[in-house]
Chains A and B, each alone.
Chain A
């Protein structure tokens, strides 16, 4: 069965430092996609970054990068140069090739300290 695991309920990081949010996944599908979303206190889910299972290079979007280790089934999000506005819940999600649905992890609450 498909599953996403985020083992860090909460994380703290100092402003301007980098932080890594962990995500591991489980699937028997060969074709799948991995996502990270940011959810501020307002509730809206904001797409950050996407990695396809066949992509050989790690995805990057500005200050966000996805450390994709397929053999270990991990898809960690790295945020460089943290900003106060990065404080939010972060969800790792997986799309798999049947059902047309995203499976989400439980989330990690990131707090950026000034």
Chain B
């Protein structure tokens, strides 16, 4: 069974640009979660999508947004990139209602210069 996949693996952007990160959940999983891990820090919850709807949002500005598609894959969009957005962005998926059992993807490493 394929795990959670994320693309791209690495990304370099300039301050002020916009970026889109992608995540495909494990087959059968309908919930997708996004986390940000800045260098040397723990994971910070960003967003939770379930059945196409945004269910919860972490303490991040509105320029962080996303969506979930009918096939349950998800995108994370970050507008007006700032230097402190440089981080590893991890996506996780779970079965609906079993959100304590989250499986993580390999992450996308974003560098903002």
Most central of A37, A44, A45 by chain B CB within 10 Å = A45
Closest Cβ neighbor of B47 among chain A residues: A101
Give complex CA distance A106, B38 in Å: 11
The verdict on B23 contacting chain A, using a C-beta distance below 8 Å, is: no
Q: How large is the interface on A (under 10, 10 to 19, 20 to 34, 35 or more residues)?
A: 20 to 34
Please give me the residue from chain A that is nearest to B48 by CB atom: A100
Within B85-109, the residues touching A (CB, 8 Å) are: 88, 90, 92, 99-107, 109
**Given A43-B106, A43-B109, A95-B99, A101–B48 Cβ distance below 8 Å?**
yes
Which of chain B's residues 44-65 have a Cβ closer than 8 Å to chain A?
44-45, 48, 50, 55-56, 58
List, in ascending order, chain A residues with CB within 8 A of B56's CB. Answer: 99-101
Mostly, the B contact residues are strand
Cβ of B30 within 8 Å of any chain A Cβ, yes or no, is: no
CA distance A67 to B45 in the complex (A): 26
A42 CA / B107 CA spacing, docked (Å): 9
B100:A33 contact, CB within 8 angstroms: yes
A-chain residues with CB within 8 Å of residue B109 when the two chains form the complex: 43
Q: Chain A interface secondary structure, helix, strand, loop or mixed?
A: strand
**Contact (Cβ within 8 A) B99 A44:** no
Q: Categorize the interface residue count of chain B.
A: 20 to 34
Are A44 and B107 interface neighbours, CB within 8 A? yes
Bound Cα distance A4, B41 (Å): 13
**Judging by beta carbons under 8 Å apart, are A95 and B43 in contact?**
no
**Interface: A102 (CB within 8 A):** yes
Residues of B65-101 contacting chain A, CB below 8 A: 88, 90, 92, 99-101
Q: Which residues between 1 and 49 of chain B lie within 8 Å of chain A, taking CB atoms? A: 31, 33, 35, 41-45, 48
How far in angstroms is the closest Cβ of chain A from B43? 4
A100-B33, A100-B48, A101-B45 known; 19 other A-B pairs, CB under 8 Å? A4-B42, A35-B100, A43-B88, A43-B90, A43-B107, A45-B43, A46-B104, A50-B101, A91-B42, A93-B43, A95-B99, A95-B100, A99-B48, A99-B56, A100-B56, A102-B35, A102-B102, A103-B45, A104-B43
